[in-house]
Structure 1
Amino acid sequence: MKISKREMLGGVVGTTVAAAGAGRAVAQAMPAIAPGPFQPTTTSLSAYDTPAWFRDAKFGIWAHWGPQAVPGQGDWYARFMYTPGHPHYDHHVKTYGHPSEKGYKDIIPLWTADKFDPEALVARYRAAGARYIVSMGVHHDNFDLWRSRHHRWNATVMGPKRDIVGELQAAAKRHGLRFGVSEHLGASYTWWYPNHLYDQFWPKLGVSYDGADPRYADLYHDNRDEPFINTPASWYTRNAAYQAHWLKRIRDLIDSYKPDLLYSDGGLPFGDIGRQMLAHYYNGGSKRGTVDVVYTCKNLGSGEFSDAWSTQDVERGALTGINPKPWQTDTSNGDWFYKQDDTYKTAAQVIATLADVVSKNGNLLLNVVLLGDGSLPPQSEQLLDDLAAWMTVNGEAIHGTRPWTRFGEGPTQGTEGAFSEKADYVDGDIRFTTRGKTLYAITLTEPKTRLVVTALRSGADGRSDTVRAVRLLGHKGALSYRQTAEGLVVDLPATLPSRHASVVAMTLA
């Protein structure tokens, strides 16, 4: 979810009498949930426990991708192409035509995905260290990337005419990876309000955009009284008919693909309707009395959140300490959708973020930007290559690990919350993970001639951690080390086995 002041639109949030009446009918016709231990109540759902596979995976890669990648202008194109004064609007008018004549419906056929090779992509994702992958299911643009039974605007009959979700899932299965899908549909009904408007200046003054054309109401929605106006309450629709429509679509996605992970872009939508979906998902994902699936949503904006019945997702941010329950941060190496002349994260920044998140009992879900045709831009190619090289040497300090008694040390502590990610670490910043009696110290910068772990200084805080052995991952030679009042001091070789960050593994008594 992205909200900024420039996205504000005038309007009111409300529910029409007709919608309220539809809501009563919808509530009576709610589809039955799958049989199982969960009921759609917070008390019942709070019996959920995060499965071990997610706690062990630590790193996932997200294909946050769809028709909005085609113009090459970045995130939220489908919204801002209908917002005069925004660069997306200017680009659209110049490149495709005025949105009263050429709207988002005309971008969809241009998304042919002719270079999309899920087998090759997933192989690279696994080599880069991903243990789960996530496919876009549906973004705020209301376009389904699967063989949707309830929506004609989907990728199997339009655009690429391929089942994007199904193809990625099949490739994930072949490579032994868990598979997830993301849904951003809940916010679509208000987010896309600008397509109903018109220019307030010549030469198209008062000429409605194509979103007002009733022939395309099932793509653009037909509500006129629920604009997203930069308030949490306006992120999700109050229209009961739309809420029921969301449930049908997301249940179809769940039932057709049975994903290991489901992500919502916001809190759990729509009260009881959202709880119906979640109980259905958890019951369908239960095996021998244990839930084997993950639902991740945000403690941000509208909707409901509790880490008792879901896994917290922190967009482009982190937590400041070790969270008692597993959680996830999601971020991208660039903009969420491909953007020409974008600034991309380096491998050093991504690795440091990964180490920081894992040290605090979290997972990193990283979008690796795809071009509109399904291929990787050079920056994404380089990142995957660099991650693969680093993981080959240091992956044991990430996968299957657990937090230590403290997450790390050093001058850079970070800031809590969404949209607060920081990747500028300095010498002395270290993050810890553990596996059995092994403690891993991951440097967040390239270390110099020695590493000092102050948490292991002699007699520190009354501790009695005695270091029995020390090794540098990827280095075959012995290391000189000593435990002093300054800390555990490790002399490093002149040539380090990996770039960006190094890992010292210490066996503790």
Structure 2
Amino acid sequence: MNRRKLIKGMAATLPAWWLSKTFGEPLPDLYKYGEPGEKMAKGPFNPNWDSLEKYTVPDWFRDAKFGMWAHWGAQCQPEHGDWYARFMYVEGNEHYKYHLEKYGHPSKVGFKDVIHQWKAENWNPDQLVELYKKAGAQYFVAMANHHDNFDNYNSRYQPWNSVKVGPKKDLIGGWAKAAQKQGLRFGVSVHAAHAWPWYETAQRSDKSGPMAGIPYDGKLTKADGKGTWWEGLDPQQLYAQNHALSAGSENVNTIHKQWHWGEGVCVPDKAYCESFYNRTVDLINKYHPDLVYFDDTALPLWPISDAGLRIAAHMYNESINRHGKLEAVINGKILDEKQRKCMVWDIEKGSSNNIEPLPWQTCTCIGGWHYDRRIYDRKEYKSVRDVVNQLVDVVSKNGNLLLNIPVRADGTIDEQELAVVQDIGKWMAVNSEAIFATRPWKIFGEGPSIANAKPLHGQGFNEGAARLFTAEDLRFTQKGNALYATFFGWPENKQVVVRSLAAGSPQVGNKKVTEVNLLGYTGKVQWEQGAEGLLVKLPDNKPCDNAFALKISGITG
């Protein structure tokens, strides 16, 4: 066979780095004779921070304010909570103990076998996305992969994917079609860049007991699969553990300080980085998401590789080529000032304590990130009030709320979660005017809660204060000629004082309130603007539950 034809035939299935090494061909030449990797879309953006800094957040995201997320993958199969595929290999951990009882010892039944048992048999994406739209979601995000390295889509570069293993379904494809049917913007979350150090626990073995010294399945290879259900698959394409352990790997918490690819982490090789690039660009090209959420400091694999920069440039260029303008959003965490201009800053389970000059997002969940049956049994989901309070607070500071509703192994949500989602919809039916397409006012709010705000910790993790909001706490948004002041809780004396709207205050100046309405109430409310603030007398009956929005005219515009 002609050498060129041989390379062209192999390029469809083998990575470019291997072909280049084997045949001695330069990478650019290989692209001419096959498809060893995904090409970066051409356009105005280049894979460097200076170029990405030209990014502008699209209006659809600035107006959306509220999205819902299905943080759903193979780690939901045990219904035992977060980071299962890491901690099931940690002797004595609660996930390890549960795994022994439910599946067997991790030397014999590893996470690959948990994937095999996951069937998603009752998954109905149309039903769930329709429910989320009714609750007010303006965009929907589905998890494409997690740190477990399993792709929930028809992946060209990762054979451990939901079409070939486990559910035998294109989950991202199903979610994308459902979102399009409901007219929602569609996003995907990508977490797999950290599988290299994250799975290092799978290289261990028990230190005590009858299985002491017997290695877990993290070092298995394709050759070990003969006669098994996974024959023909290579576990190393899932676990990626053919490498030395990171410094301090024996301490499972060390990974947190190594998340930025420093502090002694074992650095992934080029093949791993290029595989991640190809998988992610393939995902973008197949499903055309409007948003890609990266669970990474800045961009994936930065600064040890430019793979994340190339993905970002491709995402933006592809969006421009498809829409005629930039409609794409990329979320990243722990961003410096320059990087916040390049993408949308995501704060995990937390909130900024100020009005941010650029749009941002907080991501949170009503339970665990992955479904946890124990939270259901203990009835420990966040209340509707918790969600509403956080939404209003975040929006007042120029942010969006992305809310995860954990999905069970079979693809359904439980009745407690359903009740929360439906009640969010009831609140939105009354108050969405004060949320969607709004912008921050001169100040984000007033009240005693401001003094109790907690600082950000790492990528976020300062939420919780919103649960303590009272009727004396207010948050402001504006749209057109209307100022919205939302208060939390119905005061016993049925009076609200908006102190920031006192006559002659720094926020008001010489402007005067001309009209006040209570959203959801058809009658007129009595009000008076004086030296102490805007005093509003409320009706006897509440128009809704949890939080209440005043629509005020005469101050803005």
Structure 1 length-normalised TM: 0.92
Instruction: Provide the residue aligned with 2:344 in structure 1.
Output: 311
Query: Aligned residue for 2:290?
Result: 260
2:391 matches 1:366: no
Alignment match of 1:150 (pick from 146, 157, 181)? 157
Task: Judge conservation of contact 1:26–1:240 (CA < 8 Å) in 2.
Answer: no
Q: Secondary structure in 2 aligned to 1:391?
A: helix
- Kindly indicate whether residue 298 of structure 2 is the aligned counterpart of residue 298 of structure 1: no
Q: Which residue of 2 aligns with 1:134?
A: 141
Instruction: Show the counterpart of 2:205.
Output: 198
The answer to whether the aligner puts 1:270 opposite 2:307 as a matched pair is no
Name 2:461's counterpart in structure 1. 419
Which residue is equivalent to 1:388? 425
Pick one of 512, 521, 535 that aligns with 1:489. Answer: 535
Deviations 1:103-130 (A, max 9, x none): 1111112221111111110111001110
Query: Displacement, 1:388?
Result: 0.6
Partner-residue secondary structure (3-state), 2:187: strand
Please identify, of 71-80 and 303-312, the stretch whose mean Cα deviation from structure 2 is larger: 303-312
Alpha-carbon separation, structure 1, partners of 2:164 and 2:408: 21
User: Does the 8 Å CA contact 2:347/2:361 hold for their aligned counterparts?
Assistant: yes
Separation in structure 2 between the aligned mates of residue 202 and residue 430 of structure 1, nearest angstrom: 58
Of the two structures, which has the highest relative contact order with CA contacts closer than 8 Å and spacing of 6 or more? 1
Out of 515, 528, 544, the residue aligned to residue 498 of structure 1 is 544
1:377 matched residue in structure 2:
414
Q: How does 1:78-117 map to 2 (within 5 A)?
A: 78-117=85-124
Give the residue type in structure 1 aligned to 2:523: G
Which stretch of the first structure deviates more once superposed, 361-370 or 66-75? 66-75
Q: Is the 8 A contact 1:191 1:235 kept in 2?
A: no
Q: Is the 8 A contact 1:282 1:293 kept in 2?
A: yes
**Secondary structure of 1:338's match?**
coil
Query: For the residues of structure 2 that align with 1:398 and 1:54, how far apart are their CA atoms?
Result: 13
- Per mean C-alpha deviation after superposition, the further-off stretch among 451-460 and 359-368 is 451-460
**Is 1:465 the counterpart of 2:511 in the alignment?**
yes
1:454, CA displacement in angstroms? 0.5
Distance (Å, rounded) in 1 between the aligned partners of 2:531 and 2:117 = 65
Amino acid at match of 1:436: G
What SS class does the counterpart of residue 149 from structure 1 fall into?
coil
**Could you tell me how far 1:85 is from its partner in structure 2?**
1.6
Letter in 2 for 1:456: L
Q: AA paired with 1:386?
A: D
Match of 1:243 in 2: 273
How far the C-alpha of 1:34 sits from its partner, in A, is 0.6
Q: Deviation at 1:79?
A: 0.4
> What code does the residue aligned with 2:420 have?
L
Tell me: CA distance 1:420–1:393, structure 2 relative to 1, closer, same or farther (3 Å): same
- Number of aligned residue pairs: give it: 487
| Whole-Å separation in 1 of the counterparts to 2:268 and 2:414 | 40
Give, as a single letter, the amino acid of the residue that structure 2 aligns with 1:311: V
CA contact (8 A) 2:498 2:535 kept: yes
User: Are the structure 2 counterparts of residues 305 and 371 from structure 1 closer, same or farther at C-alpha, using a change threshold of 3 Å?
Assistant: farther
Q: CA deviation at 1:180?
A: 0.2
Q: How far, CA to CA, are the matches of 2:476 and 2:122 in structure 1? A: 40
8 A contact 2:495–2:536 mirrored in 1: yes
Q: What is residue 327 of structure 1 aligned with on the other side?
A: 360
Given that residues 269 and 304 in structure 1 are in contact (C-alpha distance below 8 angstroms), is that contact kept between their aligned partners in structure 2? no
Distance 1:117 1:482, change over 3 A: same
Kindly state the Cα deviation for residue 289 of structure 1 after the two structures are TM-superposed. Answer: 5.7
CA contact (8 A) 1:150 1:249 kept: yes
Contact kept? 2:471, 2:496, Cα under 8 Å:
no
User: Per-residue displacement from partner, 1:159-205 (whole Å, max 9, x unpaired)?
Assistant: 11111111111111111100000000111111111111111112111
Equivalent residue letter for 2:242: N
1:384-417, CA deviations, whole angstroms, 9 ceiling, x for partnerless residues?
A: 1100100011111111100000001111122232
Q: What does residue 178 of structure 1 align with? A: 185
Q: 1:243 and 1:400, CA in 2 relative to 1: closer, same or farther beyond 3 A?
A: same
Determine if contact 1:187/1:235 at 8 Å carries over to the other structure.
Answer: no
Q: 1:220 to 1:496 in 2, by over 3 A?
A: same
Q: Secondary structure at the residue paired with 2:97?
A: helix
**Residues 19-168 of structure 1: matches in 2 within 5 Å?**
32-168=39-175
Task: Specify which of 214, 230, 236 is matched with residue 221 of structure 2.
Answer: 214
What is the CA–CA distance in structure 2 between the aligned matches of 1:123 and 1:333, rounded to whole Å? 19
Give the distance between the partners of 1:505 and 1:234, measured in 2 at CA: 44
- What is aligned with 2:12? none
Deviation at residue 42 of structure 1 after TM alignment:
1.3
Q: Is the 8 A contact 2:38 2:282 kept in 1?
A: no
Task: Supply the distance in 2 between the matched residues of 1:118 and 1:503 (Cα, whole angstroms).
Answer: 33
User: In the aligned structure 2, how far is the partner of 1:184 from the partner of 1:225?
Assistant: 22
**Of 487, 496, 508, the match for 1:443:** 487
Which residue pairs with 1:3 in the alignment? none
Offset from partner CA, 1:354-377 (integer Å, 9 cap, x none): 000000000000001111111111
Q: Deviations over 1:57-99 (max 9, x none)?
A: 0000000011111212100000000001210000001111000
> Is structure 2 residue 369 aligned with structure 1 residue 336?
yes
- The residue type paired with residue 313 of structure 1 is D
Q: Deviations over 1:213-257 (max 9, x none)?
A: 113111111333244633544554442221111101111111111
Q: Structure 1 pair 269/44, CA: closer, same or farther in 2 (3 Å)?
A: same
> Is structure 2 residue 332 aligned with structure 1 residue 279?
no
| CA-atom RMSD in angstroms | 2.1
Deviations 1:426-476 (A, max 9, x none): 231111110011001111333440111111011113722311111111100
Residues 44 and 143 of structure 1, relative CA distance in 2, 3 Å threshold: same
Match of 1:312, SS? strand
> Percent of aligned pairs with the same residue?
41
State TM-score, norm by structure 2.
0.84
Structure whose CA Rg is larger: 2
- Please give the alpha-carbon distance, in whole angstroms, between the structure 2 residues aligned to 1:188 and 1:446: 48
How big is the shift at 1:493?
A: 0.9
CA distance in 1, matches of 2:550, 2:242: 58
Given that 2:199 and 2:241 are in contact with CA atoms closer than 8 Å, whether structure 1 keeps it comes out as no
